[in-house]
Structure 1
Amino acid sequence: MMKISMRWATIIGSILLVWGANLIIIPSSYFNSQHILLRHSRDIMANISDLTMEQSYNHLYKARSAANLTKLLLSSRVVTHESAVGFGALEHYFFDQLATYPHLAGIYFGTPDGDFFYVNRDNSRIKNGFRTKVIKHGPKGRTCKLTWRDSNYKILARANDPSDTYDPRQRPWYRKAIRKNHIVWTDPYIFFTSQRPGITIAGPSYNAQGHLQGVVGVDIDIAELSTFIGKLRVGKSGEAFMLNRNGDVIAYHDIKRLIVHTGPSGATHLASVDELDNPVITKAFASVKWHYDKDGNMQLLKPLFTSFLCKGKRYTAMFTPFADKKLPWIIGVYIPDDDYLGEIKHSRKLNIVYTVLLSGIASLLAMAFARAITRPVVALQEAARAIEKNDMAPTIMADSIFQEIQETADGFARMQKSIIDYRQELEEREKLHAAITSTANDAIILIDQDDNISYWNPAAEKIFGFSSKTVMGTNIFKTIMSPDDEVEERGASLRAHIQRLNDSGLAFEFMAVNAQGTKIPIEFSAAHLTIKGRQHEVVVIRDISERKRHEKVKKDLVNDLHDGIGGNLTNIKLLAEMNAARTTDEENRRVLENIAAVCQDSMLEIRNYMDILDGREINWPSWLADLRQYCFKTMEAHGIGFEMHHVLNPKACRPSSLLAMNMFKIIREGLTNIIKHAQADKVRLTIIIDGETLRLNLVDDGGADAGDIERNRHGRGILSMRARCRDLGGELSLKAENGLNIEIIIPLKAGSEHLVCRQEDV
């Protein structure tokens, strides 16, 4: 049998394979690709239109909730402006709504007199801030007051703006709401204050006599749609945009072009297609034979494709209407034909050239193939010699089609990478430890087994005033203790403390001195470390001067509460009880008894706050006993029977002062609701504390039904109780069981801020 050279067989086979494949594939590929890409371009535009429409619906779903909010504003009777109190309540209400609904840009109220009340998001002074704008017309003329607040409603700044010319009665949202006399959506326009495009949902508000009080408006910023459209990739150089049916452009990748300034007064409006300064969009719009209704708005019932020329280039465009008739918007997309056909035309020419070039390259590759078999083996040999000399710099370049050679090369590469990574990790750890110790606020000191200092970080220099160079090799206790102290004796005592604290995470406090001889209270902790067979201690010292000062302030405040306010309330309570016992006038007696009861409640509140301030320990049995006594006296004073049952897991962690106080307030609010509204004869309180949860049921026999529950659900008392439950991470629910059953479940987890667990508790 004739033998042939593997080298020439590889070369000839490679050339035949390349030529045959190109002669078959190139012609058919060109025509198929042209047809597919033409169809694909339309699919791209349709998909982009669908994606844009879906994003718009998702964004404007917020508008639907805003419409419901507007209805709530109209029916809640908070829209009043007759007094300062009314304005304050209105501001609080608007502020709460913006905090609850983050998708709203602002809420405002305009009156027929031109008064205007506006609360909007404002980041000019602080992130997540708010701004209130109040325009009033009074005897002294027109005033415009601005107030900036943070997210906690704290006032940051106030200002007057006499140059403000805003008149709500001239705005589209006000006029349309008055004309339609119901909740309306405005066409997109430029917001006066933020100078950003948006829409407004507005509705008129009337008093009981049917007179117009004003119009409530809710702003929804739609600039996000322009941001979304700007991120869309439409071919290589295509674009998407959105039109209102009146011809205004409402979304475009360059949002600055949407805003057109007219006249010296600085008035603005949304740009039309011609004002957008985009000749391609202008041509695309002009290429369509639009149909208009009697109001001059474009009519488009289904997606429309169009083709046009602009500056010698052909484009394909698509216009798609929104399916929801409430949104009279149209999505436009255009793509240059060259984006998807130009490459094919250019590729057809290049393929012929490539065929010739690839044939030559294939020949060269075939000749190099034989040498490529031995090259990985040589590379592995060189890399192994370099590693043997501890030289990790050379990279193993071994890429073989043979499995055995490649697996060996990969194993060498992994071994080399592991060694390099380990060395790099050691270097990074060293840098990290150096950065941590040099930037830490606490003093970090390394001492040897003779208590001599071998490391002294910058924080130690700041706390004690000694430089690192000065203290190196000195005894730590002689350095940070006063010469007046018995250093040897106290140093031995502290060394014993260190041995006990080692690696425990605990700390102890004592008085140290700095370089100036000033005594400073410090917190001292230590951890054991072995370096090259020798024992060392890592000492962490914290300056607790500020903490001690705060503890003294809290202690003084507790004493003031107890001796001052608490003493006065006790005297008032005793005087009220004495006079109630002496008086014969029934009405005076009831008043005095109420005064005594209020004093008792206030004293209990003060005691709760004192427990929080001085960190006094609270346990479940004492808390339950105090709660039983308070509830019994409260209900007895109103002629309502009371019984209380509880189940307590003896292993449950102690409650924090905050948890105990908030639970007391929740129960007190529930009893107040029963006294005022339930007309009950008997109340039962059940509390189960099983270590994992606190379950509370407050049941009365007032005969509440499902309708009562629905009314109570939105009552101020229930809302307050529910808010406190949420603050504690719990839930509140209402049930009708021959009366109202308020059920509260609070999760109790060891280590949470609501519990205080000793080691023996856990």
Structure 2
Amino acid sequence: MIVVVCAVLAGIGYKLGSELVEAAAADQTTRISREAQLAMQRIVEPAEVATTLLSLQQMTLARSLGQRLKSLQFLRQALDSSSALSSLYVGYANGDFFLVGRIGHGAPSEAAKVPPGATYVVQSIERAGDQAHGHFIYLDAALQTLREDDRPDYAAAYDPRQRIWFTEAMASSAQIKTPPYLFFSSPQVGITLAMQVGSGPAVAGAEILLHSLGQTLAKQKATPGNELVIVDSQGYALAYEDVSRLVRPAFEVNGRPSLARLDELGVPALVPLLAAVTEMQKGGHQQGPRTLRLSIDGTAGRASISP
């Protein structure tokens, strides 16, 4: 009888302990979800203001690179308002494009072309009939020109009118936000805010990097064994503490890098969660956190997924 009673008590204790662990995991995930949402708001709100103000600038009506360069002071101040802002730009209905961005937020292949001391880069496309002229201008912190490069390859590869942020903004009377995606100019995850210019045929836009969300997740780890990741509805990772794992190399059909899914991050504990994420998406975001039992290489684990 003593053995039976002890076994029953041990079973009850194990069950209660398991329930406490699962409840704690669910509570932690819900809290992290709230904090990630607040972090996203802190990232997006300055960009919303900058995009609205940019849409009111005279440069949205400018017809040449020289006229657009007169707005550099405003663009620098707007960029400096948020460390998450990667670039501000205007796409014109005739296919022209004018962008001011931070050095270091571009593709690795561009890093080798940057002159020493450069802080900002101007990327310009001007079109005249069938001819397109691409131009890069590298600036220091005081907006003094360090070097100017002709870039016909850039003008040939990029047309703002074919980008989703342009088409959606032109079809809307309000500011639009794209879902997170891999930027054209760099293998980094971000979102684009865009707004049609009311006084002319152009769209003002801002790019926001989401790398800081990965830093937010890293700070929330309760133990070294915790793995925290933000994904979209298809299970593609948007934020993770090791940002180098978010992007797969350019071996896809179109030769472009792509986002990594949960099962492609190289973390065994995250692989079985892909099916659970896509299944939750089918049920809608009204669901609460879902807790799962896992076995990773023979070790028991718990996972909690929260919309």
Fold match by TM threshold 0.5? yes
Q: Which TM-score tier does this pair reach, normalised by the shorter chain?
A: 0.7 to 0.9
Are 2:107 and 1:137 aligned?
no
Give me the identity figure in percent: 22
Instruction: Provide the alpha-carbon RMSD of the alignment.
Output: 3.2
Q: Do the aligned partners of residues 320 and 264 (structure 1) sit closer, same or farther apart at CA in structure 2, a change above 3 Å counting?
A: closer
Tell me what 2:50 maps to.
69
Are 2:178 and 1:186 equivalent residues in the alignment? Answer: yes
- Conserved? CA contact 1:121–1:128, under 8 Å: no
Q: d(CA) in 2 for partners of 1:127 and 1:51? A: 39
How much has 1:200 moved relative to structure 2? 0.9
Q: Which ranges in structure 2 are unaligned for 5 or more consecutive residues?
A: 1-8, 105-113
**CA deviation after TM superposition for structure 1 residue 216, in Å:** 1.0
Separation in 2, partners of 1:138, 1:48? 54
> Which structure features the higher share of helix residues?
1
* Shift, 1:269, TM fit: 3.0
Partner secondary structure for residue 290 of structure 1: helix
Of 230, 244, 257, which aligns to 1:256? 244
Name the amino acid aligned to 1:314.
Answer: A
Corresponding residue SS for 1:192: coil
Q: Secondary structure at the match of 1:206?
A: coil
Aligned position for 1:318: 304
Q: Is the 8 A contact 2:235 2:278 kept in 1?
A: no
Q: Which ranges in structure 1 are unaligned for 5 or more consecutive residues? A: 1-27, 322-762
Among 193, 212, 221, which residue is 1:201 paired with?
Answer: 193
For 1:154-173, list aligned pairs within 5 A. 154-164=144-154, 165-173=157-165
Change (3 A) 1:127 1:197: farther
Amino acid at match of 1:270: L
For 2:142, the equivalent position in structure 1 comes to 152
Residues 319, 263 of structure 1: alpha-carbon distance in 2 compared, 3 angstrom cutoff: closer
Q: Could you tell which deviates more after superposition, 57-66 or 262-271?
A: 262-271
If asked which structure has higher relative contact order (CA below 8 Å, sep 6+), I would say 2
CA distance in 2, matches of 1:204, 1:176: 9
The equivalent of 2:292 in structure 1 is 306
Q: 1:223 aligns with which of 211, 216, 237?
A: 211
Aligned residue pairs, count: 288
Q: After superposition, where does 1:667-686 map in structure 2 within 5 Å?
A: none
Question: SS at the partner of 2:61?
Answer: coil
Deviation at 1:77, TM superposition (A): 4.0
| Cα distance change of structure 1 residues 158 and 97 upon mapping to structure 2, 3 Å threshold | same
Q: Please give the TM-score of this superposition, normalised by the length of structure 1.
A: 0.35
- Partner residue of 2:35 out of 25, 39, 54: 54
Contact 1:49 1:320 in 2 (8 A): yes
Q: Specify the SS of the correspondent of 1:302.
A: coil
User: Distance between the aligned counterparts of 2:277 and 2:48, measured in 1?
Assistant: 35
Partner in structure 1 of residue 110 of structure 2:
none
Matches within 5 A, 1:257-336: 257-260=245-248, 261-263=250-252, 265-287=254-276, 290-292=279-281, 299-321=285-307
Q: CA deviation at 1:30?
A: 10
CA distance in 1, matches of 2:73, 2:278: 52
Q: How does 1:397-546 map to 2 (within 5 A)?
A: none
Which residue does the alignment assign to 1:106?
Answer: 87
Deviates most, 30-39 or 157-166 = 30-39
Tell me how far 1:42 sits from its aligned partner. 3.5
| Shift in CA distance, 256/99, structure 1 to aligned 2, threshold 3 Å | closer
**Code of the aligned partner of 2:260:** A
Distance 1:194 1:310, change over 3 A: same
Query: Of the candidates 225, 235, 244, which is equivalent to residue 247 of structure 1?
Result: 235
Letter in 1 for 2:120: F
263 and 163 in structure 1: CA distance in 2 versus 1, 3 angstrom threshold: farther
Instruction: Determine the C-alpha separation between the residues in 1 that align with 2:171 and 2:265.
Output: 31
Amino acid across the alignment from 1:53: R
Alpha-carbon separation, structure 1, partners of 2:71 and 2:198: 16
Structure 2 Cα separation of the partners of residues 189 and 289 of structure 1: 18
Which one has a bigger Cα radius of gyration? 1
Q: For each residue in 1:20-71, what CA deviation from the matched residue of structure 2 results, as whole angstroms up to 9, or x when unmatched?
A: xxxxxxxx99975874475145324522541353144234323122212222
- Where do 1:532-571 residues align within 5 Å? none
**Residues of 1 paired with 2:253 and 2:276: CA distance?**
35
- Matched-pair contact (CA < 8 Å) for 1:290–1:299: no
Deviation (angstroms), 1:171: 2.3
Distance 1:30 1:236 in 2: 28
Inter-partner Cα distance in structure 2 for 1:220 and 1:288: 25
Amino acid at match of 1:61: R
**1:125 to 1:59, Cα distance in 2 relative to 1, 3 A:** farther
The one-letter amino acid paired with 2:183 is F
Return the alpha-carbon distance in structure 2 between the equivalents of residues 157 and 58 of structure 1. Answer: 37
